[in-house]
Chain A
Amino acid sequence: MNIPVIDIYAILPVVVLSVFGIAIMVIEPFLASKSKVGLGWLAFAGTLAAGLSVIPMHGRQGPAYSNLWIVDDFSTFFHVLFIFIAAMTTLISIDYLRRENLHRGEYYALLLFATTGMLVMAGSNELMMIFIGLEILSIGTYVLAGFRRTDLRSNEAALKYFLLGSFASAFFLYGVALIFGATGSTNLISIAASLAGAESQWGLVHLSAALILVALCFKVAVAPFHIWAPDVYEGAPTPITGFMSVGPKAAGFAVLFRVFVTAFPMIESRWTEIMFVLAALTMILGNVIAVVQPNIKRMLAYSSIAHAGYIAVAFTANSSRGNAAALFYTLAYATMNLGAFAIVTILSRGEDAKVKLSDYAGLATKRPGLAALLSLFLLSLAGVPFTAGFAGKFLIFRSAVESNLTSLAVIGVLTTVVSFYYYLYVIVQMYMKEPSEDFSDARLTLGLTTALLVAAAGTLYLGLLPARILEWTAQAALHVL
């Protein structure tokens, strides 16, 4: 009997993150509560190790584990992105948890497990595996959203996310079941091959694709499946809000691309039509409603919906340029949005006491450095030239125009103008209003400083010298097609 060679390198990052997550759970009870900060740094070390473990994947293309798993530039890109997001979130969380007296090991373990789930989603070549990844991610984030157990809003967030998320998972599973019924397989490539054959039960296939689309649109908060996002984002601990706004969103899009581009090219005219409408709706709703939000976490939640709309534009374009633009955008969005959330975390103080926009009044006179950095991130989110956000939006609208979706591009750029209003409004507060308080109690610690510097450098790097990252995303996008 042949013993199969275990291709450990293909799943090394998943293994590393899981091992660190488990280790944190095991070590936790033996630590005095004072030294639990160390767990945060252990989690950070875990993400670094996971980052290193991606290296052997470089340049590898092809399936592994009997076609359940796939290693290609696409999955490698998302592995790096997710690990980056987890590392940044950890850095932002360390001080937050100490301040809120929430320092418990589960937090980091759950964060690492959720990240593991995202890696599984991006690396799977098979719908059931994707579902498992989706569930690992979801369960982790359900708990994390409710991590401030004594806070009602946090409880509400967790419950809402859990209930609606369960529906979405059920939709996904139902879709998988139907496509299995129609094609006899849950493997993406087999599905595509089966659909390319003459006889298919198109009714079933369409229904299945629609269900999967709904489930994933829920995950990435594309309208009209976005209703949960603002409440959950507002109630969740701020670093987790940052994490949810970029991580699961990117993972959801990774699966959208993988599943629809690989498995459903035969019905692409159908799903691009639907996505056209959803993308337009998402950009309009997200941007317009964000204008009237008095709370910065809610504002960033609607902004996050709007950004999902922009990525959906690239998805609708359904071209190699569009896919590359979407990948670039997920990275750019993660960088600038985590930067913004790092500052919101610093300024929110205990129990989210200071998350109103008016709480930012006069920040520039008291803390010019923080104000300048937040301005950079907000201007980048708005899409001002020479920042990551502009490069990303430019690439997305370019792909839209290329695919003859000029009307979508026009909606996109006009809603971008709307977004200038609410992003600039925060700058108005910081720079053009008199300070109502001194911000001396907002502390900058090692973890937060590192995260801020990385985010700022990344935002400028992607905006000024995007050429290398562009090559990488173009390469990655090729593999999903």
Chain B
Amino acid sequence: MGGLIDNGILTIVTFLPALGAILLLFFKSDNVKAVRAFSLAVTLLTFIFSLHLIAHFNSGSADFQFVVNVPWIPSVGIGYYMGVDGVSIFLILLATVLTPLAVLASWSITKRAKEYFLFMLLLETGMIGVFASLDLFLFYLFWEVMLVPMYFLIGIWGGERRIYAAMKFVLYTMIGGVLMLVAILSLYFMHGNATGEFTFSYPRILDALGRGTLVLEPQMELLLFAAFFLAFAIKVPLFPFHTWLPDAHVEAPTAGSVLLAGVLLKMGTYGLVRFSLPLFPKMSDFLAPAISVLAIVGIIYGALVAMVQPDLKKLVAYSSVSHLGFIVLGIFSFNAQGIEGAIYQMLNHGVSTGALFLLVGMIYERRHTRLISEFGGLASPMPAFALVFLFVTLSSIGLPGLNGFVGEFLVLLGTFGVSPAYAAFAATGVILSAVYMLWMFQRVVWGETSNPENAILSDLGFRERLTLIPLLVLIVWMGVYSNHFLRPMDASVTKLLNRIEHTERTDTRTADRVPQ
């Protein structure tokens, strides 16, 4: 393949949706059909382009690939520097897979549809940009600018308390973000003063830290780590920074919830893997026990709160808090299983929870309520729905053979290597998740169709099936052929672990799977 495509592909994938958004401005606002067809076409095209990334990704290399690096504001040391590695490639694909599905799920949006899809497309650019940026300044730009479309999506098309939820979402995320900016600036000046090169290039700064030309004082490292960590922990959200999430999820429109849970939360965990660990290995190691405890509290707390929710969306939202706790726990285990499991779990959660929000949205559209008590016995009027719902529920619980199992298993395995006690507590989260998910499923789908309104519900339509099938395929694929996804991560994760100097824990399993 020509190097030309490889050089430009990340730019195309990132900015194609934004270009689509600009073109969308020229559509007539009352022509809803054309607007959504065009948006779907743009997101599908973006997805097709993103396939080029995985098709030409060199799994054996730990380096950044498809790199573009051109100066943008040279006097400040800001570059347009993008690239992907084994950590980010699947997250970009997750975004490009989920966005067209979110567009499909928004087919019934007619209120100000043009603006809606415009914000959706801008959001996609923001999400991909976050995962692809290698310049700290650029990363921060995407991190912040992505809030704006999400703010509008929640604030205009959300539920009753949408304005409160949208504002809370922005302000919470901002607080972490701006402190991270100050930390980025501090890092920039320390690097500049130590090496004479003032740059926001993440690999350059990392390089200087690795070679010892830039040394962080422990106190400074703690402050910087704290600033980065706060930004990511709020985004994840890690207990106790999670309070914005249920509000945002409940009020957001279906597609907003899908992207919020599916991709936006992953930015936090991605940030931990990409930035916190490599930049501040000593502090990460030092604080790992405290963070692991918070993660475990989140796992159990999220599960317990999910159990008592009367509202389907809130239940799924709190289950996210629980699942994301697993991911953070895996990341701070500092071994290959834990981190690969965490990254795997990021993808799983995106797929499974995305599917759950889609399903909840589908019955909400029919009944205009999300209260579990309003449903019951949906299996007889909606057999296809019941089947898919069961499938996704089992995936979310972590049934062996489906995707969730692989991630949870790896995380628990990695955590066990650090502390069996952590693993034991975290495992209760797995059990609890089975409790709240199956109980919810039972109340919604099984039993008598007591409410006459439920008896006349129509089953999944063609468009709805089309939306769900890709996710079902992924759930099975990721459950059975986990190596298709784990292998490309190996090299990058190994490099990360070498960087953290915890090489003694990268056991034989990783070595076994070095690509032939």
Contacts and interface: CB of A to CB of B under 8 A. Distances in A.
A466 B72 CA distance: 9
A371 to B, nearest CB: 10
B156 A432 contact: yes
A1 B147 CA distance: 71
Contacts of B181: 394, 397, 413
A428 B166 CA distance: 10
Interface stretch (A126-134, A335-343, A378-386): A378-386
A261 B72 CA distance: 31
Contacts of A466: 73
Interface in A390-427: 390, 394-395, 397-398, 401-402, 406, 409-410, 413-414, 416-417, 420-421, 424-425, 427
B161 to A, nearest CB: 12
Contacts of A474: 75
Contact of A385 (B141, B171, B182, B189): B141
Contact of B178 (A368, A402, A414, A467): A414
Residues of B contacting A: mostly: helix
Question: Which of A409, A413, A466: most chain B CB closer than 10 A?
Answer: A413
Nearest to B138: A385
B454 to A, nearest CB: 32
A431 B151 CA distance: 11
Q: Give the size range of B's interface with the partner.
A: 35 or more
Interface string A461-475: 000001100110010
A410 B182 contact: yes
A365 interface: yes
B343 to A, nearest CB: 27
A478 B142 CA distance: 32
B174 interface: yes
Contacts, number: 83
Interface in A420-450: 420-421, 424-425, 427-428, 431-432
Given A428-B163, A431-B155, A401 B182 contact: yes
B173 to A, nearest CB: 10
Given A401-B189, A466-B73, A471-B75, A409 B182 contact: yes
Contacts of B170: 420, 424
Interface of A: 364-365, 368, 379, 384-386, 390, 394-395, 397-398, 401-402, 406, 409-410, 413-414, 416-417, 420-421, 424-425, 427-428, 431-432, 466-467, 470-471, 474
Contacts of B74: 467
Nearest to B175: A417
26 contacts: A384-B147, A384-B148, A386-B141, A390-B144, A394-B137, A395-B76, A397-B182, A401-B182, A401-B186, A401-B189, A402-B189, A406-B186, A409-B182, A414-B175, A417-B171, A417-B178, A421-B167, A424-B170, A425-B167, A428-B166, A428-B167, A431-B152, A431-B156, A470-B73, A470-B76, A471-B75
B241 interface: no
A448 B186 CA distance: 42
Nearest to B180: A413
Contacts of B175: 414, 417
A386 B126 CA distance: 12
B179 A385 contact: no
Nearest to B73: A467
A413 B179 CA distance: 7
B489 to A, nearest CB: 30
A410 B151 CA distance: 24
Given A385-B144, A413-B181, 16 more contacts: A384-B147, A385-B141, A385-B145, A386-B141, A390-B141, A401-B188, A406-B186, A409-B185, A417-B174, A424-B151, A424-B167, A431-B156, A432-B162, A467-B75, A470-B76, A471-B75
Contacts of A424: 151, 167, 170
Contact of B182 (A413, A427, A428): A413
Given A401-B182, A401-B185, A471-B75, A421 B171 contact: yes
A386 B140 CA distance: 11
B179 to A, nearest CB: 7
Rank and list the top 6 A-B pairs by shortest CB-CB distance, nearest first. Answer: A413-B178, A385-B141, A401-B185, A385-B145, A417-B174, A432-B155
Contacts of B189: 401-402
Contacts of A406: 182, 186
B112 interface: yes
Contacts of A410: 179, 182
Contact of A398 (B112, B148, B185): B185
Contacts of A379: 148
